Amino acid sequence: MKFDRAEAARFHRGHGKPPGHEHPEHQNPAQEARHAEMRATAAGTAGATGTADDAEAQGPPKAARREIEVRFDLLDENRRQAASIRARLRNEGVFAVNLMSSPGAGKTALLEATLPRLGSTRAAVLEGDIETSADAERLAPFGVPVVQINTGPFGGDCHLPAPLVADAMEKLPLAELDLVFIENVGNLVCPAEFDLGEARKVVLLSVTEGEDKPLKYPLIFRESSLALITKTDLLPHLDFDLPRLEENLRRVNPELRVVQLSTRSGEGLEGWLQWLSDELGEALHPE
Amino acid sequence: MHEMSLAMGLLREIERQLEPYGREARATRVLLEVGGLRAVVPEAMQLCFRAASQGTVAEGAELVIEQIVPRGRCVGCGREREIDHILFLCPDCDLPVKLIAGEELLLRSIEIEEPDRKGHK
């Protein structure tokens, strides 16, 4: 069902201007622009019209109804926080990678394999989970700063939102770092929605999950720059159709880079490390 | 379950929008545009909205969810078509399709009910 503005206008009986269009609390330019646009829209269409029942109302309680145009993007708040994280990281010369996958695809295993192979690159990890610090404990032996973020106290969110990441970043010695891995909460749906201010999103998909996942969860594969096909050491035991997976990836995101690897055998790791070092070099030492 | 955090953000904005209308103003209907690629389940969104709106200015308000069909334009031939949510390659050119609709998550408008002001003079 849609609001019918013309219908509403016909019922409108001179309720005057809506009081809310000056919004003194909105001070930033983006909001101001939005409100200016709203005012323009309002002027052109008899605006925030009352579907007033006052014409026919019999006795109390009398109430007037009006529709106000808002056009507020629900992801704006997250986006603003993400932009401020991104600016902060750029100033500090830190490259951030947001690792996303379903639970158990091998994000922590990838970090265990990666952290000892970074050479002189100074890394840290933000570890996102709904509950427990199990993953942070797994990474403790590598001697890099690890901050655990639990979304449990915040409604058990199935993804990391930018405000939690911004808080966690404050606990990292950013000035002494080159690289931050953000290990997102295991989930193929929601993490794709929330920008965290990272430089790159990387999605992991293990070969036990099936070739059809890119088609079923297109957004996460569209948002990512790189897809890591993990646990390839298991391929001999599976009826997994790698060419079909690659075709499916291409269908949802023709520009996605793909690297196959197994952290268990170590095969393919160099492809991932090469991608990381290329991206890092480009980001931190442009031209 | 990102519907809950979306519903909470939605309610924060509704409260902000209603502030200038006084303490007794209530939201009676809320129009939300949701793009087909946003993985928002309408039933879950309704449930979360009902739960999160308890005790707020939007308690009991009707949430109208308008679903936006994803559309894209081929970077080669420029033809626009609906994206059946799995095909981001132009079937004619085999080139990427640039998304032009389908990622909306927009609170478009709110219907507000105010007590009759004449009675308050």
Residues in chain A with CB shorter than 8 Å from the CB of B6 are: 74
User: CB of B41 within 8 A of CB of B84?
Assistant: no
More confidently predicted of B121 and A261: A261
Residue A32 has pLDDT above 70, yes or no: no
Quote the minimal CA–CA distance from A18 to chain B in Å: 8
Residue A132 has pLDDT above 60, yes or no: yes
pLDDT in tens, A145-204: 999 998 877 667 788 999 999 999 999 999 999 999 999 999 998 898 899 999 999 999
pLDDT the model gives residue A173: 96
User: CB of A214 within 8 A of CB of A249?
Assistant: yes
User: CB of A262 within 8 A of CB of A238?
Assistant: no
User: Which domain does B56 fall in, by range?
Assistant: 2-120
| pLDDT-derived band at A264, boundaries 50, 70, 90 | very high
- Report the length, in residues, of chain B: 121
Tokens of residue B56, six digits: 């707020």
Number of domains making up chain B: 1
Domains by residue range for chain A, with CATH: 1-72 (no CATH), 76-284 (3.40.50.300)
Calpha distance A54→A267 (Å, rounded): 74
Preceding omega of A19 cis (within 30 degrees of 0): no
Average the pLDDT over A244-254 and give the result: 93
pLDDT in tens, B22-58: 989 999 999 999 998 887 899 999 999 999 999 999 9
CA-wise closest residue to B12 among A77, A120, A206, A239: A77
Using the Cβ of A178 and the Cβ atoms of chain B, whether some distance falls under 8 Å is answered with: no
Locate all alpha helices (DSSP H) within B19-113, ordered by sequence. 42-53
Residue A31 has pLDDT above 90, yes or no: no
CA-wise closest residue to A102 among A162, A187, A207: A187
Task: Give strand pairing partners of A68.
Answer: B110
Locate all alpha helices (DSSP H) within A194-287, ordered by sequence. 213-216, 218-223, 242-252, 269-284
pTM listed for this prediction: 0.75
| pLDDT-derived band at A287, boundaries 50, 70, 90 | low
Quote the minimal CA–CA distance from B67 to chain A in Å: 11
pLDDT in tens, B63-90: 999 999 999 999 899 999 898 755 678 8
pLDDT the model gives residue A49: 42
Tokens of residue A225, six digits: 């720059």
CATH number at residue B104: 3.30.2320.80
Tokens of residue B104, six digits: 């909306």
- Quick check: helix, strand or coil at residue B114? strand
User: CB of A142 within 8 A of CB of A181?
Assistant: no
ipTM, 2 decimals?
0.83
Residue A216 has pLDDT above 50, yes or no: yes
Tell me which residues of chain A, numbers 51 to 110, contact chain B at a CB-CB cutoff of 8 Å: 51, 54, 57, 60-75, 77-78
Using the Cβ of A246 and the Cβ atoms of chain B, whether some distance falls under 8 Å is answered with: no
Q: Highest mean pLDDT: which of A145-154, A220-229, B108-117?
A: A220-229
Residue A9 has pLDDT above 80, yes or no: no
Tell me which residues of chain B, numbers 58 to 117, contact chain A at a CB-CB cutoff of 8 Å: 64, 66, 85-89, 95-96, 105-117
CA-wise closest residue to A200 among A179, A172, A224, A218: A224
